[in-house]
Amino acid sequence: PKTIYLSDYTPYPWTVDSVDLHFTLDPHATRVRSLIRFAPNPAFTGETPNTMFLHGEQIKLISAQIEGTAINPDLTGEGLTCAVPGGPFTWESEVEIDPANNTALEGLYMSNGMYCTQCEAEGFRKITFYPDRPDVMSVFTVTVEGPHPVLLSNGNPVVTENHLAKWHDPWPKPAYLFALVAGDLVAHSDSFTTMSGRHVDLNLYVRPGDEGKCAFGMQALKASMKWDEDVYGREYDLDLFNIVAVDDFNMGAMENKGLNIFNSSAVLASPETSTDLNFERIEAIIAHEYFHNWTGNRITCRDWFQLCLKEGLTVYRDSQFTSDMRSAPVKRISDVIDLRGRQFAEDQGPLAHPVRPESFQEINNFYTATVYEKGAEVIGMLKTLVGDEAYYKALDLYFTRHDGDAATIEDWLKVFEESTGRDLAQFKRWYSQAGTPRLSVEHSFELDTLTLTFTQHTPPSAATPDPQPQVIPIAVGLIYPDGTEALETRVLEMTKATQSFRFTGLEDEPVPSILRGFSAPVVLTHDLSDADRAHLLAHDTDPFNRWEQGRMLARKSLLAMITEGADPDPAYLAGIHKVATDTTLDPATRALMLDMPSEAELATVLHEAGTAPDPAAIYAAREAMAEARADAFADVAADIYAANTVTEAYQPNADQAGRRVLGNAMLAMITRRDDGAQAAAQYDGADNMNQQLVALALLVGAGKGDEKLQAFEKQWQDDRLVMDKWFGLQVSKAKPEDAAATARRLTEHPAFTHTNPNRFRAVFGALVMHHAGFHHASGDAYTLLADWLITLDPLNPQTTARMCSAFQTWKRYDSDQQAKMLAEITRILATPNLSRDTTEMLTRIKG
């Protein structure tokens, strides 16, 4: 496979002034006619070549013409080359494609009889011959002919007849934002009036039968439109905004201009079928895709190396939205848990890459936690460094200056440099260096002065062998022994490898609260005594750091249990007992304080400390801790559970969800002591999926779920999304030694199908997230996963490659486990005709 380098970028020699497409739909023989107007690109340096290359894969060329004259281009598997005249010219072609056999779900494909598309990153080349690169932007007019009641494309409708629709999108866009949908769909409709008074029709198109699951998504869309006007001054720019729900989809959703396409799991919701977390995720994804209209569509990426330009910024924007709609501290804490769980693991393993990678073979492999989540952290740091006002001023300049552009990270940083007068050359290392910086701090106090000395060090990686010091914004506060604040949050700017900061005029020795709000994505080492941590846990004014101290106590106790066979730390148990019973705190915060570090997080921490994690020991320690917690809370669990029972009608809002999550944390403890009686009662009485599913999961985890599992299946067998939960839960709640066998048994269930990514991920996503189950000493889970990856790869390389990341941590474990994983990695790699996607992933993982 060919490696593509950022440093090789050159502009395309032509501009595309307009694109006309005509689709005649047919499951196995869809015809696509195109008429494209090319002109020499003034931005291209050098003479315009006399041959032109167009991408095109898995499409049959029927005919091609330049300026009306038939031609015979040279075809390869990747596209065509043909001679072209010197000035502007028109290209016409007709091709045939086979959407019904497109199991890769990229390009034009079919899902339950409906046609839909997924073009990002490089799927448009499977639809017609085209310069399929994001810096080629054009105005598209699209005609769709087919026997379906609903025929959609981007932009505004121009002609709507029986079996024919013509669409025009006035905004120039790259081909990856093209979309087409045709099918027997029903619309849930509404409208929105923008800040300048534009009336926008909103439709959420779903399969008949799903109408009742649209209201929440529509509400989230309207809230997103309003929020982007209020906070970023960004207005919607078409008369119509359509969202379509599709069952077969490789990821969450796609921001196609004016026609977002969503995995049905990322948009369909109802209280009976969706959990609180589902609702929150749907709201965030709807916002994310909508926000792309400005950060991604109006301003797009010059090339795929700039992916974080749109993804990091859009994730940052959707996290701001969720903070505003729900609870900001809860959102921040959840994001940090997620970052540490996924991005830190990526950054410390063989897949480590900079937020802006410098080379790739298959770009689909770079839609990663590093590009998305670390990319968002980088934006957050920038905002912390320049301040809120300067941030929004820079964003205004970005939108004005680059509207209509295919931009770069250099463009982005320049806007900040110009509007703030700062030099961001060193800051740019956050985009170019892989690896998570380790930040350690020592503090000393003399007379009235506190000195904080920080040292930063980033472990070298294949991607960044010689990391240089980064600019680290360190938000700091100081808390006096009496619990009052000695210093409100101040942001220290660390730029050197080692740097000291002094705070004078202090009345007493304070406890430093470092890295408030998790102001930088680093691993912090701060030798605080348990007493100081307990002090911050009680008095820190920063909600993130309060939570963090509790987390550190939990970690420390669990690590001692794992590595030294220690007992659960009574001080930790007393500490969480105190916060959990503190009714001055909101229930969501209390629940977060109770949340235990996951097995994967503990494995990452052990690995960071140079110890090979023992999955069985980690599992056992968490179990022992859960038992100790059940004892510690025996006096209050039932009361807290009762006090947080929601008696009003189900609402997916943060307040109710917070009460449920706290109540269910208590239910988990109760279930360890009452043989599942309370959980069974909750299951039987539940009028919403959240409470039903949590109760079921607890019963299954306690080995008492068989009867309810059957009842659940019977109740929900016709609901695809709920059945995904049923599949996943059985794997995630299995005992470690049973996880692989459970997954294998479920693949034999008549409702299992590996060609539907949601169903495949329900089983195998749950298996790889079951740390002790996946890494069980038998190695059975490795073999089972490898078998299925080999089966899926020829059908759906993207989903296969993504799932391969389960093996990215292989070098962490002891030599037996390593050998078992390596054998499976090698076995998959030896499969004939393995896709480029999977080959690249496993080759990098193997190292």
Please state the closest distance from residue 316 (CB atom) to ligand B3K, in A: 13
**Residue 824, binding choice from Zn ion, ligand B3K, none, Cβ under 5 to 8 Å by partner class:** none
280 is catalytic: no
Q: Which residue's CB is nearer to ligand B3K, number 120 or number 542?
A: 120
- How far apart CA 50 and CA 84 sit, in angstroms, is 5
Strand partners, 63: 94
SS3 state of residue 190? strand
Q: Which residue's CB is nearer to Zn ion, number 294 or number 807?
A: 294
Please state the closest distance from residue 367 (CB atom) to ligand B3K, in A: 5
Q: Which residue's CB is nearer to ligand B3K, number 249 or number 619?
A: 249
CB 699 within 8 A of CB 676: yes
- How far apart CA 284 and CA 243 sit, in angstroms, is 15
Alpha helices in 633-653 (DSSP H): 637-643
Of residues 145, 255, 283, 289, which has the active-site annotation? 289
Please count the other Cβ atoms lying within 10 Å of the Cβ belonging to residue 467: 19
Please state the closest distance from residue 118 (CB atom) to ligand B3K, in A: 7
Mark residues 305-334: x for contact with Zn ion by CB under 5 A, - for none.
Answer: ------x--x--------------------
**Those residues with Cβ within 8 angstroms of residue 136's Cβ, 6 or more apart along the chain or in another chain:** 12, 15, 16, 174, 175
Alpha-carbon distances, residue 657 vs 407, 652, 663, 671, 834 (angstroms): 40, 6, 10, 20, 44
Distance of CA 78 to the CA centre of its chain: 30
CA-wise closest residue to 190 among 180, 181, 199, 182 = 199
Please state the closest distance from residue 292 (CB atom) to ligand B3K, in A: 6
Please state the closest distance from residue 289 (CB atom) to ligand B3K, in A: 5
What are the b/e assignments for 442-458, b being 16+ CB within 10 Å?
A: ebeeeeeebebebbbeb
**Residue 434, binding choice from ligand B3K, Zn ion, none, Cβ under 5 to 8 Å by partner class:** none
Q: Which residue's CB is nearer to ligand B3K, number 292 or number 660?
A: 292
CB 575 within 8 A of CB 529: no
- How far apart CA 653 and CA 280 sit, in angstroms, is 8
**Residue 569, binding choice from Zn ion, ligand B3K, none, Cβ under 5 to 8 Å by partner class:** none
Burial of 203 (0-12, 13-18, 19+ CB in 10 A): buried
Please state the closest distance from residue 809 (CB atom) to ligand B3K, in A: 23
Evaluate the omega torsion of the peptide bond into residue 686 and state whether it is cis, within 30 degrees of 0: no
CB 254 within 8 A of CB 178: no
Q: Which residue's CB is nearer to Zn ion, number 177 or number 694?
A: 177
Q: Which residue's CB is nearer to Zn ion, number 301 or number 593?
A: 301
CB 172 within 8 A of CB 138: yes
Long-range contacts from 628-635, C-beta under 8 angstroms, 24+ separation: 628/567, 628/568, 628/573, 629/568, 629/573, 629/576, 629/594, 629/669, 630/669, 630/670, 630/672, 630/673, 632/573, 632/574, 632/576, 632/577, 633/577, 633/580, 633/666, 633/669, 634/669, 634/673
- How far apart CA 228 and CA 103 sit, in angstroms, is 36
Distance of CA 628 to the CA centre of its chain: 34
Please state the closest distance from residue 254 (CB atom) to ligand B3K, in A: 5
Q: Which residue's CB is nearer to Zn ion, number 300 or number 730?
A: 300
Please state the closest distance from residue 292 (CB atom) to Zn ion, in A: 6
- How far apart CA 808 and CA 825 sit, in angstroms, is 10
- How far apart CA 658 and CA 664 sit, in angstroms, is 10
CB 176 within 8 A of CB 261: no
- How far apart CA 191 and CA 237 sit, in angstroms, is 14
- How far apart CA 731 and CA 742 sit, in angstroms, is 6
Q: Which residue's CB is nearer to ligand B3K, number 252 or number 779?
A: 252
Please state the closest distance from residue 36 (CB atom) to ligand B3K, in A: 24
CB 163 within 8 A of CB 147: yes
Please count the other Cβ atoms lying within 10 Å of the Cβ belonging to residue 390: 17
Please state the closest distance from residue 312 (CB atom) to ligand B3K, in A: 10
At 491, give phi and psi (nearest 5°): -100, 115
At 277, give phi and psi (nearest 5°): -65, -35
Please state the closest distance from residue 315 (CB atom) to ligand B3K, in A: 8
- How far apart CA 296 and CA 292 sit, in angstroms, is 5
Q: What angle do CA 282, 285, 289 make, to 5 degrees?
A: 140
**Which residues make up the interface to ligand B3K (CB under 6 A)?**
120-121, 251, 253-255, 288-289, 292, 311, 364, 367
Q: Which residue's CB is nearer to ligand B3K, number 145 or number 840?
A: 840
Q: Which two tokens stand for residue 375?
A: 């990319």
Please state the closest distance from residue 335 (CB atom) to ligand B3K, in A: 16
Please state the closest distance from residue 290 (CB atom) to ligand B3K, in A: 10
- How far apart CA 139 and CA 155 sit, in angstroms, is 10
Binding range to Zn ion, per CB under 5 A, among 103-111, 148-156, 304-312, 810-818:
304-312
**Residue 254, binding choice from Zn ion, ligand B3K, none, Cβ under 5 to 8 Å by partner class:** ligand B3K
Q: Which two tokens stand for residue 86?
A: 């010197």
Q: Which residue's CB is nearer to ligand B3K, number 253 or number 723?
A: 253
Q: Which residue's CB is nearer to ligand B3K, number 296 or number 575?
A: 296
Q: Which residue's CB is nearer to ligand B3K, number 120 or number 347?
A: 120
**Residue 120, binding choice from Zn ion, ligand B3K, none, Cβ under 5 to 8 Å by partner class:** ligand B3K
**Residue 367, binding choice from ligand B3K, Zn ion, none, Cβ under 5 to 8 Å by partner class:** ligand B3K
Q: Which residue's CB is nearer to ligand B3K, number 364 or number 756?
A: 364
Q: Which residues are at the interface with Zn ion (CB under 5 A)? A: 311, 314
Give catalytic residue positions: 289
